[in-house]
Structure formats: structure tokens, C-alpha cells
Amino acid sequence: MLYRTIGTDPATRREVSVLSLGAMLFGTATDEATSFAILDRYVEAGGTFIDTANNYAYWVNGTQGGESEALLGRWRRSRGAGDELTIATKLGGRPLAPSSTLAREVEGLSAKSIRESSERSRELLGVEKLDLLYAHTQITNSSAQEIVESFAELVTEGTVGLLGASNHWAWRLEQARGLAAAAGLPGYDVLQYHHSYLRRRTDFPSLRSPDGQEGVLSGDHLSYLRANPALALVAYSPLLGGAYGRADKPLTSDFDHAGTPVRLAALREVAQETGATANQVVLSWLIGSDIPVIPLVGASSVAQLDESLAAVDLELTADQRARLDAAN
């Protein structure tokens, strides 16, 4: 396993594995025994960076979420897992009432919800301190000042280590980080977005915004990361739910553009040269990108996880990487 440091403050920064494990469906679609087996295998392979959220996975059984955090808490206690692991969670997107579809009414990022949700997450995970806490959504009626001060208060109190943001427009990131810096408060050190080798269109309106897909890493986000190299990038859904290797998992309509077949051809060419799967090439490409990426992979079996773990040891040549980068 390879490792990377996230965070800039020596008091809170963490060394984490370059491959993160997503626990979104643990405790719901993935049963407890299978979830425990996947977690055990991940740790055995040197994995240290596990990701969840306080609303996972409400849509499976029509709840408000929390099943994933609760399962991770049970697993931690049963294994005696401690500070060697970094468990990240998120708040802001928990539905206000049980829901089996994408909820329109969510808790948001008020000072009250930030405090109450972080306390609930600590209780479910069975920890005194959340290693990394993300603002999961930018849906809120609260001011940027209130959000920044509320998250910073948790860090100052010692109940949260690092702060992060997921699914935010770049201007909102800059606004929040600027306010935190001006006030001498801890700000966002880690960003989480959907990112993969194939490029998803970002202009389709979403349920959350008529302006497009705020959760998809865009050129604006990439430019922001180049200008702020101390920020860490975590990429969720890098394997597109199996679409790179499974005929029964077709690409969605937002990949229907001229660049997709060109990049798929380059990907398949490199996969054939290396003897690796397309999934492994994608993960290796992300890990070694000029803007370093920590892929966040899901798994519903140990075999799926093992395929992703093997990508850490896959080294693409400079020529292979150049061809992948240039395909458009």
C-alpha cells in the first residue's frame, strides 16, 4: 500500500492510504457479514482511509440514513480498531424525514444541524473525535460565515480533526476558505467530488441546481486545485458503478459525447498492454495524476476490493500516461 498526507496543520493532518474504501452501502444493500469481510481485507492490505456519511444509505430502505456509520461503529469495536484508521464522514444531506428517493428537504448546514449531526455521527461511529468531517452539500439557508464558524468550533473543541467539502461550486470553496483564513480559523483541507477517467458532462441541470452538476469535478475545480496544491482531492465513484468492465452496467447519458469513445479506446489499449483490467488502469491513472487523487472505491465483495487493491501496484509508463491524458 502507498500513503499520502492530507491536511496542512501538524496537529490534525493524517497519513492515509492512497486508496480509500467507501462504506456507503454497508449495513443496507451489503449485509453485515460481507461488510465486515471487506473491511477486514482492506485493513489487512494496509488500507487506512474509510469513507461514509450520516445519510448513508437512506434510499435503500426508506430511512434517514445512519446505517453505514452504525455498522462501522460495530466493526471498530469488534476489531479494536483505533487511531491507525482515518474514518471520514459527512453531514448536511440527511433527509428531514424518511425517504426512498433523492430527498429535496435535507438538514443543511446551520450551526444547529452541524453540531447535532456531528454528535450523532460520533455516537454511531463510537469515537470521541471525527478524523475528517465534510460538508456534504451546499444546500443551506445559512450564511458562509455561520458555516465556517460552526465547523471551526468543532475543531477547536477537539471533536473534529480535519474539515472537508463535497459537492460545492468552486466559488463557494474559495468563499469559505477565504473567510476561515481571514479569521485565523481552520478551513477545508480535503475536497470530494465525482471524478474518473471518462469525463462526465457537467451542464445537465440536477435536482439540486439548474446550473449543472455541482458534484462532478469540473475544469473550474481542477484549476482551483492547481492553484491550491495543499488541498487533497478524493474522487468518488471512480469506476462508474462497474461501467468500465460490465456490459450490464451501461454508461449514463451524461457520457454521451464525442470524447467518450476516444478515451475508451485509449483505456482499452493501455489495459491490454499492461495485462490489467480497465478498472485498475483508471485507478492507477488517478493515483499518479499531476493533481494527485485519492480514489474512493466501493465494493460489494472481497473479490471486487482485491481488484481495486491491485491497482495501487500498477505503474503506468510515461508514454501510457501521456496517451491516456491526450485522448480527447
- The C-alpha atoms of residue 151 and residue 92 are separated, in whole angstroms, by 12
Q: Which residues contact 72 (CB under 8 A, 6 or more apart)?
A: 23, 26, 39, 50, 52, 87, 124, 125
Distances (CA, A) of 226 to 134, 234, 265, 312, 318: 21, 15, 28, 23, 21
Per-10-residue mean pLDDT of the chain, 328 residues long, equals: 95 95 98 98 98 97 97 95 92 95 90 97 97 93 95 97 96 97 97 97 76 87 96 97 91 93 97 98 97 97 98 97 95
Instruction: Quote the pLDDT of residue 207.
Output: 66
Instruction: Quote the pLDDT of residue 208.
Output: 67
C-alpha cell at 64: 434517514
The full DSSP string for 246-285 is -TTSPPPGGG-STHHHHHHHHHHHHHHHHT--HHHHHHHH
pLDDT tens, position by position, 189-222 = 999 999 999 999 888 777 667 777 889 999 999 9
- The C-alpha atoms of residue 227 and residue 162 are separated, in whole angstroms, by 20
Instruction: Quote the pLDDT of residue 132.
Output: 98
The answer to whether 18 and 287 have CB atoms below 8 angstroms apart is: yes
Phi and psi, residue 68, nearest 5°: -65, -45
Relative to beta strand 14-17, strand 3-6 is: antiparallel
- The C-alpha atoms of residue 72 and residue 291 are separated, in whole angstroms, by 30
Ordered by where they begin, the domains of the chain are 3-326 (3.20.20.100)
